[in-house]
């Protein structure tokens, strides 16, 4: 029998009615002759609530216990989905990450999948039993529950599709595909029929949370046919595929944003070999995910170092840098936690110059000041004041001709 992975996100399993309509979609595929592995997220809001309870209990929490708590939402959803399938005549059982097992690294809270043992699940398919798998979770080398980072159920689904040799991995969510910008910010965003793995990888890593970055990485590596579509309708979604499959290609395919960024500057650090390592070493040791980095060298043998990180890591960054003050001897530490990151992405940039200039002019025309810039072969990102975030997304979307007129 051909196999199919169907993943349902938080809003798609938010209540019993929605679980029932998701189960109907599963039944339809079962009737088409597929062995189905359903991957579920926790009910919308549940993981946030569980994570909040961990933080309220312990500020510098033990990441293994964090995983024990936050993985619970998926366990409930998988049981309810299996029961619902049984109720509508689809034989199914739930599987937790450790039961399959889905082996991961030991980086609790941000683990990576190493291997999935599918033999038992495949044997059960042979008995006519479909699978409902808790997304987001696995088992670490320490034998304890691990989780894959926020949005990680997408990665569970793609990894399972690769391990099962599934014909497709369908990601059902609360939008009907991948858009040229987050449709919640840009109402004129256009749904794409297809998008290249590489572009989706950049968009995901630059904030388009519709797919977890790691999920796209795995889909690209294992050539998983990945489709994003709506749980609530029956329209076709967006296919993530090789760029050769895409006929029409804009220079820019999409605009992404990250709302909660912070910009941290160390002013007047004595400039000497090893200064960058001395700054970013302690930040890494404190688990701070540094994103953009800019260094300005002054004529006086001093340097200013600026970097960005998520706002909820500012406290840890500050603690790391204050502890290193003796060694670094910077004059001042300045935090601006009211910034956002806006990026434009497109594989067409490889063969077209001038995207950065067009982007900067469009932002200038709206009176938006750029604080930090980074570029790669297929993207340009800027940090700006958060209050201009929506305006910037809309202006760039318009400038690059992405709007749905």
Chain residues that interact with Mg ion, rule: CB under 5 A: 9, 151
Pick one of ligand ADP, Mg ion, ligand ASP, none as the site partner of residue 179 (Cβ within 5 to 8 A by kind). Answer: ligand ADP
Does 197 bind ligand ADP (CB under 6 A)? Our answer is no
Pick one of ligand ADP, ligand ASP, Mg ion, none as the site partner of residue 150 (Cβ within 5 to 8 A by kind). Answer: ligand ASP
Does 177 bind ligand ASP (CB under 6 A)? Our answer is no
C-beta closer to ligand ADP: residue 97 or 282: 97
C-beta closer to ligand ADP: residue 288 or 345: 345
Pick one of ligand ADP, Mg ion, ligand ASP, none as the site partner of residue 11 (Cβ within 5 to 8 A by kind). Answer: ligand ADP
Indicate the residue whose CB is closest to ligand ASP: 153
Does 191 bind ligand ASP (CB under 6 A)? Our answer is no
Pick one of ligand ADP, ligand ASP, Mg ion, none as the site partner of residue 182 (Cβ within 5 to 8 A by kind). Answer: ligand ADP
Judged by CB under 6 A, the chain residues 193 through 252 that form the site for ligand ASP are: none
Build a one-symbol-per-residue string for 225-254: x at contacts with ligand ADP by CB under 6 A, - elsewhere. Answer: -----------------------------x
Judged by CB under 6 A, the chain residues 62 through 81 that form the site for ligand ASP are: 73
C-beta closer to ligand ASP: residue 45 or 141: 45
Per CB under 6 A, which region of 111-119, 152-160, 203-211, 393-401 contacts ligand ASP?
Answer: 152-160
Closest approach of Cβ 210 to Mg ion, in Å? 7
Pick one of ligand ASP, Mg ion, ligand ADP, none as the site partner of residue 136 (Cβ within 5 to 8 A by kind). Answer: ligand ASP
Per CB under 6 A, which region of 10-18, 63-71, 107-115, 260-268 contacts ligand ADP?
Answer: 10-18
SS3 labels along the chain? CCEEEEEECHHHHCCHHHHHHHHHHHHHHHHCCCEEEEEECCCCCHHHHHHHHHHHHCCCCCHHHHHHHHCHHHHHHHHHHHHHHHHCCCCEEEECCCCCCEEECCCCCCCCEEEECCHHHHHHHHCCCEEEEECCEEECCCCCEEECCCCCHHHHHHHHHHHHCCCEEEEEECCCCCECCCCCCCCCCCECCEEEHHHHHHHHHCCCCCCCHHHHHHHHHHCCCEEEEECCCCCCCEEEECHHHCCCCCCCCEEEEEEEEEEEEEEEEECCCCHHHHHHHHHHHCCCCCCCEEEEECCCCEEEEEEEEEHHHHHHHHHHHHHCHHHHCCCEEEEEEEEEEEEEECHHHHCCCCHHHHHHHHHHHCCCCCCEEEEECCEEEEEEEHHHHHHHHHHHHHHCCCCCC
User: Binder to ligand ADP among 34, 66, 98, 179 (CB under 6 A)?
Assistant: 179
Residues forming a β-bridge with 104: 113
Query: Which residues contact ligand ASP by CB under 6 A?
Result: 9-10, 41-42, 47, 73, 135-136, 150-154
């Amino acid at each position: 029998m051909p196999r199919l992975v169907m993943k349902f996100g938080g809003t798609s399993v938010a209540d019993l009615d929605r679980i029932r309509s998701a189960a109907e979609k599963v039944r339809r595929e079962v009737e088409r002759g597929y062995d189905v592995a359903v991957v579920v997220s926790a009910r919308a809001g549940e993981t946030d609530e569980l994570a909040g309870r961990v933080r309220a209990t312990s500020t510098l929490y033990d990441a293994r216990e964090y995983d024990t708590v936050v993985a619970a939402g998926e366990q409930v959803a998988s049981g309810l989905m299996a029961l619902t399938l049984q109720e509508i005549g689809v034989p199914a059982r739930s599987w937790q990450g450790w039961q399959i097992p889905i082996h991961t690294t030991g980086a609790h809270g941000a683990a990576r999948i190493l291997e999935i043992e599918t033999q038992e699940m495949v044997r059960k398919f042979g008995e006519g039993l479909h699978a409902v798998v808790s997304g987001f979770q696995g088992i670490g080398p320490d034998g304890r529950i691990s989780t894959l980072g926020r949005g990680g159920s997408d990665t569970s689904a793609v990894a399972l599709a690769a391990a099962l040799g599934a014909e497709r991995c369908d990601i059902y969510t609360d939008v009907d595909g991948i858009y040229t910008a987050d449709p919640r910010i840009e109402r004129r965003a256009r749904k794409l029929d297809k998008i290249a793995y590489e572009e989706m990888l950049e968009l995901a890593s630059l904030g388009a949370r519709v797919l977890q970055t790691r999920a796209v990485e795995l889909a690209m590596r294992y050539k998983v046919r990945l489709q994003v579509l709506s749980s609530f309708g029956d329209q076709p979604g967006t296919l993530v595929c090789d760029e050769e499959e895409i006929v029409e290609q804009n220079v820019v395919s999409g605009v992404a944003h990250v709302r909660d960024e912070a910009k941290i500057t160390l002013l007047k650090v004595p400039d000497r070999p090893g200064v960058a390592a001395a700054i970013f070493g302690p930040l890494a040791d404190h688990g701070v995910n540094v994103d953009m980095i800019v260094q300005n060298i002054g004529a006086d043998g001093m340097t200013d170092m600026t970097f960005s990180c998520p706002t909820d890591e500012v406290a840890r960054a500050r603690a790391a840098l204050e502890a290193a003050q003796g060694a670094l001897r910077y004059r001042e530490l300045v935090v601006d936690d009211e910034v956002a990151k806006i990026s434009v992405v497109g594989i067409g940039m490889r063969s077209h110059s001038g995207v950065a200039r067009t982007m900067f002019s469009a932002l200038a025309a709206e009176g938006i000041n750029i604080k930090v810039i980074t570029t790669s072969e297929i993207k340009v990102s800027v940090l700006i004041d958060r209050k201009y975030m929506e305006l910037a997304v809309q202006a760039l979307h318009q400038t690059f001709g992405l709007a749905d007129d």
